[in-house]
Amino acid sequence: MTTRSRRAASAAEWVTLTLSILIVGALVAVAVMEEQRRQETGGVGVRVTFAADRAEARDGSYYVPYTVRNTGAQAITSAEIWIEVFAEERLVESTEVTVEFLPLQGTQEAVYVTTADPATHEFAARLESLQFP
Amino acid sequence: MFEPKGAPTRPRPGHEWSDELDDAVRGLASGFLIGIPVVFAVDTWWLGDQIGPLEALFLLGVSYALTLAAVYWIGFRRDLRRGWQYFADALEAMALATLALVAVFWALGQIGDGQPASIAVGRIAVAIAPVSLGVAVANHLLARDASRFDPDRGDATSLRGGWLSDRWRRTVIELAASIAGALFLCIAIVPVDDLSAIVTEVPVRNLPFVILLSLLVTYSVVFAAGFSGEAKRHATPGLLQTPFAETLMAYVAAVMVSLVVLWMFGRLDEDSTLFEMYTKSVLLAFPASMTAAAGRLAV
C-alpha cells in the first residue's frame, strides 16, 4: 500500500542545497578555468630555475637548490634533464637528472650537489626528453 | 514518487536545522569510512596529478550519476525523498564529499600548500566517487539508532565477558572492537607499502593537523553522527565512557595497533628512529582510527 507524499522542503534544506550548489559549482568552475588556461598555454615545456644565492657549502661540496616547473599544457610522467655547469662559457660538468610526476603547473624542488662554486660558475639546464601519461 | 504508508516525513517541527546537521554529519562520517582506503593511497594522489581538467570533469559527472543511484536506493536522510529531492541529495552528497576531501588533503599537505588548483581538482575528482557513495549509503551502512549495548538475546556480543562487571565489560568490548577495526585496515595497507611514499609526501608540520582531524572524525563517527545507539552511548556508565575519553582511547589504540602492524611487516625495526616511528604511526593511525570507530559501532 502506498500513498503520495506532499510536503515542502524546509528552510534548512534550501540553505544546504544552496551551499552544495556553491561548493560543487566552484569545483566545476575551477576545472573549466583550468581547461581554458591549458588550451591557451598550448604545447609542452619545462622550466628549471637555480637558486645559486641559497646554495650551501658543506664538506667540500655546494648544495644548490633548483626548481623544475611544468609550464606546458600537459601533465608529465617523466622528464629527463641535463644540468650543466659552466666556467667562463666552458662546460666543466654535466649530469642527467630524472624528474617524475609533474602535474599541470606542478613544481618539483631539488638540490644539485657539486664541487663547482656557484659564485664563480654558471648553472644551466637542458631538456632532453619528456614522457606523458 | 511513492512512499510506504506511515513513512517518517520531514521537516520535524522544531528540528529542521538539527535534523539537517545530523544528516550531514552522518553522511560525512559514512563517507570517511567508505572512502578513506582510496583517499589514503598515494597512487590516487599521483593519478589525480596526471589527469587533465576535462578528465576531472568527466569523473565528477560519473561520480554524480553513481551517487544519484545510491541516494535513490539508500540515501543519507532520515525520510524518504521524492522527485527533484533525489537530485538535490546527490548534489549535497558530492558537496559533503568535496568538503571531506579538502579537509583530508589539506591536513596531509596535498592541496593548499603551494600546489596549483589543477592538482586540487584532479585529486578531488579521482577520490570523490567512493566518498560521495559512502555519504549516499549512510542510512544502510549504520542504521540510525540501532542498538549497540542492547543486543538481542542470544547475540554473541551479549554472551561475551559475562564474568566482568557491566561497567568493565562495556569498556573491554569497546577497546577490543577498536583494536579489531584498526587491525582490519592496518593489515590491508601496510603490506603494500604505500605508507613509505605517503610519509615522504606529507610535510612534518602537518602531522598535528592529521592528529586533530583523526580525533575529530572519530568523535563525529561515534558520538555526533546519530549512528548506532548514540543516545545510549552518551548515557553509558563505565570507565572511559565519556565521549572525549572514549575517542582518545580509540585513537591511542589505533596508534598502538599501527605500531605493532608496522613492526610485524618489517616497516619498523630496531634500527628505526623514534621520529620515524612517530611519523609512520601518526599517518597510519589516521585511517585506522576511523575503522576503529567503525569497529566500536559494530559491537
In a domain, A4, yes or no: no
Number of domains within chain A? 2
Q: Please indicate, yes or no, whether residues A111 and A70 belong to a single structural domain of this protein.
A: yes
d(Cα B132, Cα A119) in Å, to the nearest integer?
54
Q: Please indicate, yes or no, whether residues A65 and A111 belong to a single structural domain of this protein.
A: yes
Q: Please indicate, yes or no, whether residues A126 and A90 belong to a single structural domain of this protein.
A: yes
Reported pTM: 0.81
Question: Is the Cβ pair B91, A38 closer than 8 Å?
Answer: no
In a domain, A93, yes or no: yes
Task: Report pLDDT digits (tens) over B225-280.
Answer: 555 555 665 565 555 567 778 788 889 999 999 999 999 999 998 888 999 999 99
d(Cα B11, Cα B81) in Å, to the nearest integer?
12
Q: What is the CATH number of the domain that holds A59?
A: 2.60.40.10
Question: Residues 40 to 99 of B: which have CB under 8 A from any A CB?
Answer: 46, 49-54, 56-57, 60, 80, 82, 85, 88, 91-92, 94-96, 98-99
Average pLDDT, chain A: 89
In a domain, A91, yes or no: yes
H/E element holding A84? strand A76-87
**pLDDT at position B164, please?**
66
Domain extent at residue A102: 46-131
The residues with which A79 forms a beta bridge, in sequence order, are: A99, A130
Task: Report pLDDT digits (tens) over B106-118.
Answer: 999 998 888 888 8
| Better pLDDT: A43 or B99 | B99
Contact A75, A103 (CB under 8 A): yes
Q: Please indicate, yes or no, whether residues A51 and A37 belong to a single structural domain of this protein.
A: no
**pLDDT at position B63, please?**
97
**pLDDT at position A51, please?**
94
In a domain, A2, yes or no: no
A5-14, A43-52, B82-91: which has the minimum mean pLDDT? Answer: A5-14
**pLDDT at position B32, please?**
86
Task: Report pLDDT digits (tens) over B116-144.
Answer: 888 899 999 999 999 999 999 987 776 66
**pLDDT at position B1, please?**
44
For chain B, say whether A105 makes contact (Cβ under 8 Å).
yes
Instruction: Bin B9: left if φ > 0, else alpha if -120 < ψ < 50, else beta.
Output: beta
- Split at pLDDT 50, 70, 90, the class of A7 is low
With a cut of 60, say whether residue B4 has pLDDT above it: no
In a domain, A80, yes or no: yes
**pLDDT at position A90, please?**
92
Question: For B9-13, what is the mean pLDDT?
Answer: 60
Q: Please indicate, yes or no, whether residues A70 and A124 belong to a single structural domain of this protein.
A: yes
Q: B5-19: string of b/e by CB count within 10 Å (b at 16+)?
A: eeeeebbeeeebeeb
Contact B252, B240 (CB under 8 A): no
Which cell numbers in the block locate residue A100? Answer: 617524475
Q: Please indicate, yes or no, whether residues A36 and A77 belong to a single structural domain of this protein.
A: no
Q: Please indicate, yes or no, whether residues A36 and A83 belong to a single structural domain of this protein.
A: no
Within 8 A by CB and 6+ apart from B135, the residues are B27, B28, B30, B31, B67, B76, B93, B96, B97
Count Cβ atoms within 10 A of the Cβ of residue B153 and give its class: 0-12 exposed, 13-18 middle, 19 or more buried. exposed
* Residue recorded with cell 577498536: B178
Q: Please indicate, yes or no, whether residues A104 and A63 belong to a single structural domain of this protein.
A: yes
CA-wise closest residue to A93 among A68, A122, A64: A122
CB atoms within 10 A of CB B293: 31
d(Cα B236, Cα B86) in Å, to the nearest integer?
36
d(Cα B38, Cα B126) in Å, to the nearest integer?
9
Min Cα distance B119 → chain A (Å) is 7
In a domain, A37, yes or no: yes
CB atoms within 10 A of CB A4: 8
Q: Please indicate, yes or no, whether residues A76 and A55 belong to a single structural domain of this protein.
A: yes
CA-wise closest residue to B22 among B133, B139, B162, B160: B139
In a domain, A3, yes or no: no
With a cut of 90, say whether residue B284 has pLDDT above it: yes
Provide the residue type at A55 as one letter.
A
Q: What percent of chain A has pLDDT over 90?
A: 62
* Residue recorded with cell 549504520: B142
Positive or negative: CA dihedral B226, B167, B299, B221: positive
Q: Which residues of A touch B56 (CB under 8 A)?
A: 31
**pLDDT at position B144, please?**
61
With a cut of 60, say whether residue A123 has pLDDT above it: yes
| A124: three-class secondary structure by DSSP | strand
Average pLDDT, chain B: 82
For chain A, say whether B119 makes contact (Cβ under 8 Å).
yes
In a domain, A70, yes or no: yes
Q: Which residues of B touch A38 (CB under 8 A)?
A: 52-53, 118
Which cell numbers in the block locate residue B292? Answer: 576503529
Provide the residue type at A64 as one letter.
V
What is the complex's ipTM, to 2 decimals? 0.80
Q: Please indicate, yes or no, whether residues A82 and A27 belong to a single structural domain of this protein.
A: no
Q: Please indicate, yes or no, whether residues A82 and A29 belong to a single structural domain of this protein.
A: no
Question: Is the Cβ pair A103, B118 closer than 8 Å?
Answer: yes
Task: Report pLDDT digits (tens) over A64-75.
Answer: 999 999 988 888
- Split at pLDDT 50, 70, 90, the class of B6 is very low
- Split at pLDDT 50, 70, 90, the class of B147 is very low
- Asked if the peptide bond before residue B11 counts as cis, ω within 30 degrees of 0, the response is yes
Question: For B16-21, what is the mean pLDDT?
Answer: 81
Task: Report pLDDT digits (tens) over B43-71.
Answer: 899 899 888 899 999 999 999 999 999 99
Contact B170, B241 (CB under 8 A): yes
Q: Please indicate, yes or no, whether residues A18 and A62 belong to a single structural domain of this protein.
A: no
**pLDDT at position B206, please?**
93
Q: Among partner residues A9, A27, A133, which is closest to B124 by beta-carbon distance?
A: A27
Question: For B74-103, what is the mean pLDDT?
Answer: 89
